[in-house]
Amino acid sequence: MGNKLIECVPNYSEGRDLEKIEKIVECFRAKKGVRLLDYQTDPNHNRLVVTVIGEPEPLRDAVVASFGRAVELIDMTKHEGQHPRMGAVDVVPFIPCRNATLEEADALAKEVAKTVGEQYGIPCFLYESSATAPHRANLASIRKGQFEGMAEKMQDTEKWAPDFGPAAPHPTAGVSAVGARMPLVAYNVNLGTDNLEIANQIARRVRNINGGYHYIKAIGVMLEDRNLAQVSMNLTDYTKTAVYRAFEAVKMEAKRYGVPVLESEIVGLLPMQALVDCAEYYLQVAGFDPSQIMENRLLEEE
């Protein structure tokens, strides 16, 4: 079996003061059962993005502790930056990683939101898969109005009462969005053409919103330096719309334009299984079990 691992990518509204940044990141360092994978700051955005993986309980405790730090250190009434934001801890997605389900990530998100609401008086909105109403699933909808407009927005209690915590924003820490989602695979396919319109046409045909695959979001993009058009995709659930299906769908649509597929690219992190699924498909592998992969054995609990 192995231990359950959930990923969390909390975003904090501090991307300039290195001392404060370090104090927040410290909540995830050298904690048993929690592994800090990465953190990135952007002074223009004035924002810190942490990537951390852990077992549910230690991860919950570390994330809650980081809320405490952020409330102490960040004053949203003085915050400025290019990235839209509504709270000291702006958004906290929980993502099932290994041996964990979306339901387990959802349960963790709700626990954290409840604790943070009670302990620190920060109103929390459940979003993505954890959302309690369709209009609250999308982060941009929740965040609209940002920190400065949140007090007024929340007066519409029918639409914007928080799921946990007080009915009005925390005076200096604002509000937070917390929720579960599937891991996202950022996947691009480069076409042998400089015609952006062809990439746009293909994007429209493969993406969910226009009748394509359920878990594909796609747009056409011009790679100016290479003079190539690209179909840029986000695969929002690789367990249901696999990477190879996105690739084959783009190839199939490109055929009508006589445009070849030059290559594809994977941006950022992805789970091993997303690639293993592709190898299994193309090699026509039958009866394979993930425990046959040595690394899966190594990652199991002793």
Shortest reach from residue 257's CB to a second copy, in Å: 18
In the region spanning residues 92 to 131, those forming contacts with a second copy, defined by CB under 8 A, are: 97-98
269 lies in the binding site for a second copy (CB under 8 A): yes
Assigned token pair, 231: 């179909």
Stretch that binds a second copy, among 39-47, 72-80, 165-173, 241-249 (CB under 8 A): 241-249
Burial of 180 (0-12, 13-18, 19+ CB in 10 A): buried
Residue 2 CB, nearest approach to a second copy (Å):
11
Q: With binding defined as CB under 8 A, does residue 223 bind a second copy?
A: no
295 binding a second copy? (CB under 8 A): yes
Buried b (16+ CB within 10 A) or exposed e, 30-58: ebeebbbeebebeeebbbbbbbbbbbbee
| For a second copy, the closer CB: 18 or 269 | 269
Can you say how many angstroms the Cα of residue 225 is from the centroid of all Cα atoms in its chain? 28
Angle, CA of 206, 209 and 210, to the nearest 5°: 60
Kindly state whether residue 293 participates in binding a second copy, applying the rule CB under 8 A: yes
Count residues contacting a second copy (CB under 8 A)? 44
Q: Which stretch binds a second copy (CB under 8 A): 123-131, 197-205, 230-238, 264-272?
A: 264-272
Site membership for a second copy, residue 57 (CB under 8 A): no
* 243 makes contact with a second copy (CB under 8 A): yes
- Calpha distance 117→166 (Å, rounded): 7
How far, in Å, CA of 197 to CA of 220, rounded? 7
List the catalytic residue out of 45, 83, 135, 170.
83
Least distance from a second copy to the Cβ atom of residue 224, Å: 18
Q: Which of residues 6-25 bind a second copy (CB under 8 A)?
A: 7
Residue number with CB closer to a second copy (159 or 255) = 255
* Cα–Cα nearest to 115, from 178, 181, 28, 50: 178
- Count CB-CB contacts under 10 A for residue 98: 17
Question: Is residue 288 close enough to count as binding a second copy by CB under 8 A?
Answer: yes
CB of 247 to a second copy, least distance (A): 5
- Pick the stretch among 14-22, 70-78, 160-168, 271-279 that binds a second copy (CB under 8 A): 271-279
221 part of the interface to a second copy, by CB under 8 A: no
**Terminus-to-terminus CA distance in the chain, angstroms?**
10
**Does residue 1 bind a second copy (CB under 8 A)?**
no
> Within a 10 A sphere around the Cβ of 184, how many other Cβ atoms?
19
79 carries an active-site annotation: no
Counted residue by residue, the chain has a size of 302
The conformational region for residue 284 under phi > 0 = left, psi -120 to 50 = alpha, else beta, is left
> Encoding tokens for residue 169?
């924003």
Q: Which of 264, 226, 268, 112 is nearest to 176 (CA)?
A: 112
Q: What is the contact surface with a second copy in residues (CB under 8 A)?
A: 5, 7, 30, 35, 37, 53, 97-98, 190, 243-244, 247, 261-266, 268-272, 275-276, 278-280, 282-288, 292-299, 302
Which residues are annotated as catalytic?
A: 83
